Amino acid sequence: MVVFGRDCGFCHRMKTRRDLLKLSIGSTLASAATPVPAASQLASRVIDVHTHFYDPARPQGVPWPSKGSPVYRPVYPKDWLAQAGRFGIRETVVVEASPLIEDNDWILNLAEKEKSIVGFVGNVSPTSTDFATQIKRLASNELFRGIRVNGKVVAENIDSADFIAAMKLMADSNLSLDVNGLSNFDAVASLAEKVSALRIVINHCGNCGDAQKITTTWKDGITACARRANVTCKVSALMEMTQTPPGKAPTDTAYYQPVLDHLWERFGQDRLLYASNWPVSDKGAGYEVIVKVAGEFASSKGVEFAEKFFWKNSLAAYRWIERK
């Protein structure tokens, strides 16, 4: 099986990147069960910039995911590596879904020994009275690269001087802002304009929904956000947003093309990031389907985009850390 990654001996033996592109485009894809992604020869490195790690068995439990959820189980880097490692993907930026301050520390402590974690997007409420104190404390760890908020928080506070001050602190601290659950695109575009030094990362394709049923509202919203040079977008969660039974999302890249085409047209090759949303992604399809769709999308745009999409753009967005 051909894999992603820097240590792929086959890739190193190829003469030029143009050779790689010719090879990838000419490759025959196997089924989703035994994928051979067309773009797997294109990138010298792959960073998955959206994974979640947690353990419901801890004494305090976890506020997310809820009991009864198919992803309510201990999830550690070794579990992700068992999936992503099959394709030579061994580095990730973790995103914290829990609102508990102590869960930020749990991930940072985990990252001390887990070298696959090159960055961490935490969860700290920007409207809390101790926001500045917590951000300064957490940012003392170089792996802490930003926070994630719900789009509703941005919409409700966009005219608040305190909120804008919190966002300016983020920018001054060289941290990014992930926006999840996006519905009010204008608020995000406004924030990007008001705090132009803040790097904003839209999660999960801006909540596009089922790729075969995208709306004018979503398309116009993406267009508005993409006008701001400090906004980037993760190509993630495509499968779990389909209106199909759990684990049965389509494996054909063409199914997702309406979303991929619009994101490409608006963000171009410099502001799209590869991400999986694992293990939540399992609700849609296995990791091999994510790799297959991402690989075919990247290979259709050429070598330069593949290299940027799979790692260079995320370095610009997050300033993640090289681990030794």
CATH number, domain with residue 113:
3.20.20.140
Tell whether 8 is covered by a domain.
Answer: no
Report yes or no on 16 lying in a domain: no
Average pLDDT in the chain: 89
Query: What confidence score (pLDDT) does residue 10 get?
Result: 35
Tokens of 87: 């394709």
Here the tokens at position 233 are 């977008």
Residue 313 lies in a domain: yes
3-class DSSP state of 233: strand
| pLDDT computed for residue 105 by the predictor | 97
Of all residues in the chain, the percent with pLDDT exceeding 70 is 87
In the predicted model, what is the mean pLDDT of residues 18-33?
A: 37
pLDDT band at residue 121 under the 50/70/90 scheme: very high
Q: Does residue 286 lie in a domain region? A: yes
**Contacts (Cβ under 8 Å, ≥6 apart) of 229:** none
> Is residue 166 in some structural domain?
yes
User: What is the C-alpha separation between 215 and 194, in angstroms, rounded?
Assistant: 27
Please state the rounded mean pLDDT for residues 281-293. Answer: 95
Is pLDDT above 80 for 34?
no
Task: Give 52's Cβ-side CA count (13 Å radius).
Answer: 23
Q: What is the mean pLDDT of residues 29-43?
A: 47
Q: What is the pLDDT of residue 8?
A: 44
Number of domains in the chain: 1
Domain assignment of residue 27, yes or no: no
- Give pLDDT, residue 251: 96
Range of the structural domain that residue 89 is part of: 44-318
Whether 34 maps to a domain, the answer reads no
Identify whether 324 is part of a domain: no
